[in-house]
Every structure is written in C-alpha cells, then in structure tokens.
Structure 1
Amino acid sequence: MTLKRNIVVGYDTSELAGRALEAAIAHAASLAPSTVHVVRALALMPGVDEDQGAANAQLARLDYQAEALRETVERQTLPVGVTLVTHVNVGEPATILSDVARSADADFVFVGTHGRTGLARAFFGSIAERTVRLAPCSVVVVRPKESDNAPHVLPPCERCAEVRQASQGKVEWCQQHSKHESHHSSVLPVSPPRQKL
C-alpha cells in the first residue's frame, strides 16, 4: 500500500503565491500519490461580531473567494497522482495554514515571502516566519528569484574581448570603454549580506 502524502500551500492571488503553488505541485508530483491543500486565509472584517449586515457581507466575501480559488485550482494542469483541495478560512494566515497542516497531517507547508527586512518587516510582519514557528511540519519558503530584480549587465564589446584575451585578463576594457567602466562590468553585483532574524 502506498502512503498518500499531503502538502499545504498558502495562496493569496499574488505572483509569489502562484510560484508557491507551482512549487508545491511540482513537489507533490515527486511524492505521488499526493494531495495539495490550497489555503486562502481571509482577515475578519471589523464589526462582524456586532452587525448582522457585516456578517452577511463576510459570508458573501467568503463564498466569492472560495469560488475564485476553485476556479484558479481548476485551471491547473496536474501531474498524474496529484489532487488539489481548496480551503478558504477566516483568520490570521499563519495560524490558518498551520491548522490546516495539522488537520491534514501534512508533510510540508509551502508559503511565499517578499523577503522584507527592517521596518517593512516589523510593520507588516512575516507570514512565512510565523508559519515556520507554528507549523507541525517542514515549511518551504518560496522567495522571488533574485534575477527578477538584478540590474542589467552589458556584455563586453568585441574589442574589449580581444583586449582581455591578448592581455590574458590583465586589461579588461578596450580604449573606448576604459573611460566608462560603469557602463560595463565583468563581475555581477553581489547581494548585500542578509540581516539576522
């Protein structure tokens, strides 16, 4: 008998959430048969406890988000042996993801992160960080590719390449470009060191 694996992924319609969903599906394919639980967590609207109209609006919003999530999931091309299940819950995202992971006996949780640091992280918090602390299983954090934000680096011109080869790398630029080194670079920029958590 083959054990069916469970993977939970947080989804909020952002590009990063889409990447997290793709990564979760790809990982699920390597563990097939498996189920990917796609989770959408919605914040509770203010005043829902006191106002029946607000409660009805919250229910309508929940229904709309559930239908939108189902439509997104139905458009996914799934590998053989992978099924998707949707969950739309009201509450704090990291708590919801951890609760679904616990109830599904998940093997992994996938979550996207923007990689904010400093004040932005302090102000907005980090769903990924809280999920890592709360989840009952391993958490895979999907970050944006650094190449998405990398500056454009121009390759050396033909004359620069000839000068480098003739000088065995001691001279990098032809006469024209040696005056404007900032326009060309033979070394890709290095990311600044990451701050400690």
Structure 2
Amino acid sequence: MGRHVLVGIDGSDQSTNALEHALSAFPDAELSVISVVNPVAVTAGDEFFDGSAFEQQRELAEKHLESASAVARAHDREIDTDVRIGGPARELIASATESDVDHIVVGSHGRTGLSRILLGSVAETVVRRSPVPVTVVR
C-alpha cells in the first residue's frame, strides 16, 4: 500500500473514522494529518474583520489536530500535523501534491439534497481532482 498517506480532519466523527481507518489500513505508512481553516466559512460580520472569528477557527483546527495526535498515540503511531488556510478540497489536494503523498483518506458527512448543494462535498471534489487514490470513509 501507500508509503505516505494524507488524512483530512475537521473534528467530525467521520474524520475521526477516516483517521482510524488510515491507522489500521496503512500500518507502515507515514501519516500526515491536516485540518483546513476555510476563510470563506468564517462569516461573522465585525468579528471577521477584527480577526477574532478567524483566529478562533484556527485554534479549533489546532485542537482537532491535538485530538488526532492522541488517537494516533493510542495506536502507538506518530503523525505529522498541519493547519492550512483555504478551501478544504483544494488544500487537501495541494498538500498531497506538495508532500509527495501516495494516498488520501477523508471522511464523508453523507449530505444529500439541498444541504449538499449549499455546503458542497469536499470528499467528492477530492475524489474527482486528486492525483492519487482516495479512500472515502463514512
């Protein structure tokens, strides 16, 4: 299997499931885990302009990565972590390209209908645009 696996984390149960899957399916791989802060999603009027909402989202992303590191340690594994700024799908693909990743693992929220249209599907975009194989975990 892959030598270097990238996992996207957003604090959801689905992303934790993706990490758990990567840890078990790729026991000998180097694992990199990223959490992406999407500046477009930070929509809090004045808070956005003074930076506090953005900084809160960045701190939350750091906490997601701390939790991911704890999950990895429970499996006697170490992971590399990084917070990136931008669109989640774009940043996952960019990180995979920049870091010579062999495989991407992401969780899927399973949204359908209007919520999928409005919120988009990060997993679907990653699958469509990734230069490497992608595993989507529900």
TM-score (norm 1): 0.58
Counterparts of 1:57 and 1:122, CA distance in 2: 25
Counterparts of 2:124 and 2:131, CA distance in 1: 14
In structure 2, relative to structure 1, the CA distance for the partners of 1:75 and 1:129 (3 Å cut) is same
1:111–1:140 Cα contact (<8 Å) kept: yes
1:111–1:142 Cα contact (<8 Å) kept: yes
> For the aligned residues, what is the CA RMSD?
2.4
* Deviation sequence 1:45-71 (CA, Å, 0-9, x none): 3589x94x32x6534642x23541342
1:65–1:88 Cα contact (<8 Å) kept: no
SS of corresponding position for 1:37? strand
| Structure whose CA Rg is larger | 1
How far did residue 137 of structure 1 move? 0.4
TM-score (norm 2): 0.80
1:10–1:38 Cα contact (<8 Å) kept: yes
Tell me the equivalent position of 1:5.
3
* Deviation sequence 1:52-92 (CA, Å, 0-9, x none): x32x6534642x2354134213322234xx43011111111
Tell me the equivalent position of 1:116.
111
Q: Which runs of 4+ in 1 moved over 6 A?
A: none
Higher relative contact order (CA 8 A, sep 6+): 2
**Alignment pair present for 1:140 and 2:135:** yes
In structure 2, relative to structure 1, the CA distance for the partners of 1:87 and 1:121 (3 Å cut) is same
User: Please, which runs of 5 or more residues in structure 1 have no aligned partner?
Assistant: 144-197
Tell me the equivalent position of 1:58.
54
Identity of aligned residues (%): 34
Instruction: Point out the structure with the larger helix share.
Output: 2
Query: Between Structure 1 and Structure 2, how many residues are aligned?
Result: 131
| Amino acid aligned to 1:120 | S
